[in-house]
Chains A and B, each alone.
Chain A
Amino acid sequence: MGESIGRPMVEVRNVSKSYHRDSIEIPVLQQINIAVPEGEFLALMGPSGSGKTTLLNLIAGIDRPTSGEVIVQGTNIGQLNESALARWRASHIGFVFQFYNLLPVLTAFDNVELPLLLTNLSKSERRNRVELALKLVGLADRMAHYPKQLSGGQEQRVAIARAIVTDPTLLVADEPTGDLDKVSAGEIMDLLDRLNKEFRKTIVMVTHDPRAAEKAHTVTHLEKGELA
């Protein structure tokens, strides 16, 4: 991957996105331009339907813009074919979902290990990394637990461990506190804040929660598909 000194970690250039429902074109994002520097903690806020999750998905490489470019660390991800994009996601993106999206049949350890199965690391190296990630999120003693044996907050912490275990360039979080009580939400935001400050992780987060957004360095508002 070409890394360019002085360029932002994420550049969203003139990006528009629209969906087709039957023959009707529904615009979701229009001419968006954003630059996210390395080490940034950006919160995307806005009412439902404003296009913030769509923008996050475009940055994460799980959706493609109708027009414009999304460049992450110098790579125009819109030009990658599906296979290359999957490989790129595996090595560059850490996902944190609102509903954690852990695989219920796998233990916390196995869930965190999943992204490492796409690398060339040996079994012992994978084990070390998983243990380190789970220790970092404070769940070293819950490795053998299945998701249903964990609280919501703990599940989200396992999900964060899964997101950071490959040491990705960028963490994308979609409503990471949306399904949590106030205390757990606070803990999760403290953890993301720590990842950003201590480990210099660039984070782009979609949230409705103003308290969550307080941890971000920058808050960008979207309304009706445009930057407010």
Chain B
Amino acid sequence: MKIPLSYSWRSLWTRRLTTTMTLAGLALVVFVFAAVLMLAHGIEVALIDTGSDDNAIVIRRSSTSELVSQIERDAANIITTLPQIARGADGKPQASTETYVLINLEKKETGDMGNISVRGISPGAMQLRPQVRLTEGRMFRFGTDEIIIGQNIARRFQGCEIGQTIRFGESDWVIVGHFAAQGSAFESEIWGDVEQFMPSFGRPVFSSVTVRLRNPEEFTRFKASVEQDPRTQMGDVKREREYYREQSALMSSFVRILGLLVTFIFSIGAVIGAVITMYAAVANRTVEIGTLRALGFRRRSVLGAFLVESTLLSLIGGSVGIGLAALMSFVRISTTNFGSFSELGFGFALSPSIITASFVFAVTMGLIGGFFPAVRAARLNILTALREA
């Protein structure tokens, strides 16, 4: 049988100061680790949840995003009449031909200019995006110069109150409503009538066509229809969710790689802290180790006891770190998405896999930190250890 867990646990408690200091180091590193993953996941959630599995988006082949995509009106007309597209109650295809451009607005806090996405939509757009709901004011009327603004933009940029007018695309636009979209990237956009935006921006072409499929399994046939027709074959068809996943990849990967690199460097410090703590624990308890061995406990039991101790240390540190990181769920960030060069609001999103990864990371640090001191404890000669008394 093994040396009782209570021995490891109480031994940690006996050295409260060093234990607390080591715990703080481990907790800090786990906090950074979890927060980085939460941030990257938050970006993915914001962008991926923007898309829907039922929808498909068509952009121009080789375009990395809507921003650089062009779909001619003729091609768009053909695409929106394809049979795989769901029909609304009025019998019309559920599709939105859209234009997507960037404008500059002044930030409330700093007065700096920031890029804002402006999306011109067709009347069918709201059916495609049921997550969008007005939080204030009303929906804009098609055929007018009215616009609605996502709540993330309304909060952070000047002149975005209902009733105010914004000038862009050589026109003045009246704000009639604010909208939310369940934290997705749409909340960082300005929406208006695509037919009003296109002449205003001097753009004769759409940026994209988004459609709702009759069912998600029709995607392959819809894609083949678009890509095999010579009139529409310049179009690249993607599931909407997949498109937004690609849009998030650059930024989330950047955050994840940079963050994990920083965390790795931090973790070296935490592991060194754990090593020092555990070596001190072994040095202070040489006689105890000698006694346990004399009583008949084997080397591997001693090794196990010290590894359990460092694992306990890391589990507590990990729990504290994850607990602190969980508080970050209440923080929302808004910054420029490298994928679209436009403002994107997102939060720190915790997930079960991040909790698991954080605990695995914490325990790994604990085991690495505890391993060599534990080996040293296990290799102590009984007589040498007992002579320390």
Contact = CB atoms under 8 A, between A and B. Distances in A.
B298 A86 contact: yes
Interface in A89-111: 89-91, 95, 97-99, 101, 103-106, 110
A156 to B, nearest CB: 13
Contact of A103 (B13, B291, B299): B291
A133 to B, nearest CB: 14
Interface stretch (B1-9, B194-202, B206-214, B348-356): B1-9
Interface in A106-120: 106, 110, 114-115, 117-118
A86 B1 contact: no
Interface string B1-22: 1111011001101100000000
B14 A104 contact: yes
The secondary structure that dominates the B interface is helix
B294 A114 contact: no
Contacts of A101: 287-288, 290-291, 386, 389
- Residue among B2, B11, B296 with the most chain A CB within 10 A? B296
A90 B298 CA distance: 10
Given A105-B10, A106-B10, A118 B386 contact: no
A90 B386 contact: no
Contacts, number: 73
A83 to B, nearest CB: 6
A118 B296 CA distance: 7
B383 A117 contact: no
A57 interface: yes
Given A62-B382, A63-B383, A118-B1, A105 B296 contact: no
A95 B295 contact: yes
Contacts of B297: 86, 90, 118
Given A62-B382, A95-B295, A106 B389 contact: no
B245 interface: no
Given A98-B389, A103-B288, A117 B14 contact: no
Interface residues on chain A, size class: 20 to 34
B293 interface: yes
A87 interface: yes
A86 B386 CA distance: 16
A99 B389 CA distance: 7
Nearest to A54: B383
A134 to B, nearest CB: 17
B292 interface: yes
Contacts of B296: 86-91, 115, 118
Interface in B32-77: none
Contacts of B389: 97-99, 101
Contacts of B295: 89-90, 95, 114-115, 118, 162
Contact of B4 (A63, A89, A117): A117
A62 B14 contact: no
A97 B13 CA distance: 26
Contacts of A62: 293-294, 382-383, 386
B10 A97 contact: no
Contacts of B2: 117
A196 to B, nearest CB: 21
A115 B301 CA distance: 13
Given A103-B288, A106-B6, A114-B292, A57 B383 contact: yes
Nearest to A60: B294
Interface string A32-75: 00000000000000000000000001001011000000000000
Nearest to B13: A105
Contacts of A82: 298-299
Contacts of A104: 14, 288
- Residue among B287, B288, B295, B382 with the most chain A CB within 10 A? B295
A120 B6 CA distance: 19
A114 B295 CA distance: 8
17 contacts: A62-B382, A62-B383, A62-B386, A87-B296, A89-B295, A89-B296, A90-B295, A90-B297, A101-B287, A103-B7, A104-B14, A104-B288, A105-B10, A110-B7, A114-B292, A118-B1, A118-B296
Interface of A: 57, 60, 62-63, 82-83, 86-91, 95, 97-99, 101, 103-106, 110, 114-115, 117-118, 162
Given A106-B6, A110-B6, A114-B292, 9 more contacts: A57-B383, A62-B294, A62-B386, A63-B383, A86-B293, A101-B288, A106-B4, A106-B10, A118-B295
